[in-house]
Structures are given as structure tokens and as C-alpha cells.
Amino acid sequence: MTLTQPDLSVFTTLESEVRSYCRSWPTVFNRAQGSRIYDEDGHEYLDFFAGAGSLNYGHNNPVLKRTLLDYLEHDGVTHGLDMSTTAKRAFLEYFQNTVLRPRDLPYKVMFPGPTGTNAVEAALKLARKVKGRESIVSFTNAFHGMSLGSLAVTGNAFKRAGAGIPLVHGTPMPFDNYLDGRTPDFIWFERLLEDQGSGLNQPAAVIVETVQGEGGINVARAEWLHALAQLCRRHDMLLIVDDIQMGCGRTGAFFSFEEAGITPDIVTVSKSISGYGLPMSLCLFRAELDVWEPGEHNGTFRGNNPAFVTATAALNTYWSDDTLERQTLAHAQTIEAALYDTAAHHSGSAYRGRGMAWGLELADPWHAGRAARRAFELGLLVETSGAHDEVLKLLPPLTITTDDLDEGLRTVQRAVYETA
């Protein structure tokens, strides 16, 4: 691909230095459809980024787009705070009948502000309110958001430092395989809980990602998650699963914790729940935990009705049967085979993932960044993750075609080879 230098002047002179993704992909995008995105000069890119997991159903999904356009053309309510609307009612009914009831999940649905970090903040506040305790346990290499409460349970030192103040009432514990399997699961955690001299305040809750996306695609085993749920029950702690990036089918099932056979007390959902990339988040919790006072956690944009519309269409289109789940698991085998082949040709590398969330960790911690830049030059968007950006992270849309998936994986392999 021959790239011309786009006019980025207004971005570089006016927009804040805080911008990040645009530095990795120095072009100006103006159109997208399915698993492809196009820049102003007509260059085409396969998208293995999918809006950081917000576009599980691809860009401008035609079914969702048509539903949204019809709603807007008929002057449907756009902004509704937490007022009752026909769009919200339809979403709640579909969510209950398509997602909650078939899985026997006893959850109430809360609409916090429309971002993932707001759902996490709501989950932490609720856990503390229910238990009357302040401490929250999280895990090494976790990422839960960029607001202060979420940062307090996030592991990344760079992101934590941005807070500018002490981040308190959070205690990290080793994630699955953090100690390379040399130490029995939770032996340190449980010893601290049982020892009155440990200095660990009794936690209100434990928050965990089943697959740590930003942390480097670190996958928790089903048995580890099951043991964690039992630990929480034994010690009167609520279990919060952050399913913001790995939910909505990313690992196969609608929720990433289904494989472990657990029912968390609280679940946070965002990113692809709207189906179309529109801002929306949910905080789900057991009915007996619904101790909120009216307005105790609110927000101006928690009633994003266009997002309710596309979310309902996504549930109706993709979750009325198991077709998408089976396709995701089939695609997972294709991705794993490609990464196995790539790792076999690069000493010291490793790969890991579930469903359609995969990471390739390379021996040289700078290699992943070089490969991602080369992939962009070859027409593929792919990001890095991990504490040192040492993992090449693959998040294709779940709806990607087999041909597009194969093409993207070949580009990944070429980019890794050419930058070794």
C-alpha cells in the first residue's frame, strides 16, 4: 500500500496531546463498513481492533443501521435521562427474554452513565453500600477504567500515575498464572483474609476480568474463576465480573463467565452492548442488592435511546439462537492455528486467548509495536496491550467473513516476520 501524507495539522495543533490511537494510525478515516475502514484517500484497512471491542457486529451493521435510521426518521426520543421510553422498554424486554431468562440470571438492570468506567464506579459504590466496607480486591494487570475509582482497581502503573492523587481502598492479588503455576491458587489471598494480623481490611468485593484485555490477553481458567467465586462466598465478599470488553459474545457465549459456571453478584457491561458503537453501559446485580436510593447514582446521558434501539436490534438479530456463538468458536480455531504457526517460527513467543480475543506475546518487548506499525502499512489495524505493550492484540469483529479473517491473519504473520 502506498500511503500519502494526510493533512493532520488541526489535530496536531489544536487537539490535546492526550490522543493516542491516532498516533499509531496516522491517517484520516472517513468511512467504514463491516470489517473494513477507509481513509480520505481511499485506502482500505481490515479492522482487527473493532473499536477496542465496541464493534463486535462490525462497522455500520446494515440491520442495526436501518433500525436506527427508522427510529430517528420517526422522531424517536433521543435524550431521555432515566425517563421511561418505548425504546428503553423494548431493550429491557429483549434483554430479559433473550439474555437473562435463558441463562437463569437473577439480575436487575441499572443504566449508569454511558461509559464502561461509569458502570465500574457504580458497581464499586454498590458493593461498598451493601457490605458497609471500603476495601476492594482486584488483580495484577487488571484494567477497569480511567476514572478514580476504576483506576484504584487497575494495575497499570502508567495509567494509575495519571490520577495525580493516592488511589486508595484497593488491594491487588495475583491473577491466574501470575506466579507461573508455582503457587496454589489463592493461597496468599485466603491467608490474608484469615489472619487478623495481615493488615488486609475485610473487602466488600472482588472485581475481576475473565480475560484481561488491556493487561495482555491474560486468560483465567474456568476452574480458577469457579474457585474465586467459592472464595468470595466463604468470606462474605461480593464477586464483580467486569465484562466490558469480553462480554457481548467476544469469548463465544454472551457473557464471558458462562464457561466457568458461575453467577457473579454484579456484572458490568458496555462497549458492544449497544451493537453499533453508541455509548451505553449496564450494571447488572442480584435483585437483593438493589439498595440504591432514587438518584443516588445518576448521569445526564444514561438514557441514550438510540443506543437502546440498536442494542435491541443486535439482541434480536444475533442472540435469538446460537449461530453467532458457534461461528465465533469456529473462528477461534482459525485464529489459534495461525498464531500457533507464527509462534513456532519465533523463539520465545507465546499466544493465548478465548473466542475472538487473542494475543501474541513476542520475546522482544518492542517487537509487537513494530509489527503493529507494519500491519498498518500493509492495510490492517491491530493494537498492542500488556504492561509494556509487548502483546499484539487481535480483536476482529465477530461478524467478520472467513475470507477477511484469513486475510487479516496472513497480514499479521507477514508483519511479525518482517519486523523480527
Q: What is the pLDDT of residues 196-245, one digit of tens each?
A: 999 999 999 999 999 999 999 999 999 999 999 999 999 999 999 999 99
Confidence (pLDDT) at 289: 98
User: pTM of the predicted model, to two decimals?
Assistant: 0.97
Q: Encode pLDDT of 238-278 as tens digits.
A: 999 999 999 999 999 999 999 999 999 999 999 999 999 99
CB-CB contact of 54 with 214 (8 Å): no
User: Kindly report the CA angle at 343 between 259 and 333, in degrees rounded to 5?
Assistant: 35
CB-CB contact of 127 with 240 (8 Å): yes
Look at residue 39 and tell me whether its pLDDT is greater than 70: yes
Helix (H, G, I), strand (E, B) or coil at 45: strand
Confidence (pLDDT) at 395: 98
Give every CB contact of residue 382 below 8 A, 6+ residues apart in sequence: 48, 49, 371, 372, 375, 376, 392, 393, 394, 412, 415
Residue 267, C-alpha cell as written in the block: 456484572
Confidence (pLDDT) at 356: 98
At 62, the pLDDT band (50, 70, 90 cuts) reads very high
Residue 44, C-alpha cell as written in the block: 482500505
Confidence (pLDDT) at 5: 79
Look at residue 292 and tell me whether its pLDDT is greater than 80: yes
Give every CB contact of residue 326 below 8 A, 6+ residues apart in sequence: none
At 3, the pLDDT band (50, 70, 90 cuts) reads low
Q: What is the mean pLDDT of the chain?
A: 97
Give me the amino acid identity at 202.
Answer: Q
Look at residue 181 and tell me whether its pLDDT is greater than 90: no
* Average pLDDT estimate for 132-146: 98
Confidence (pLDDT) at 1: 63
First to last CA, the chain: 20
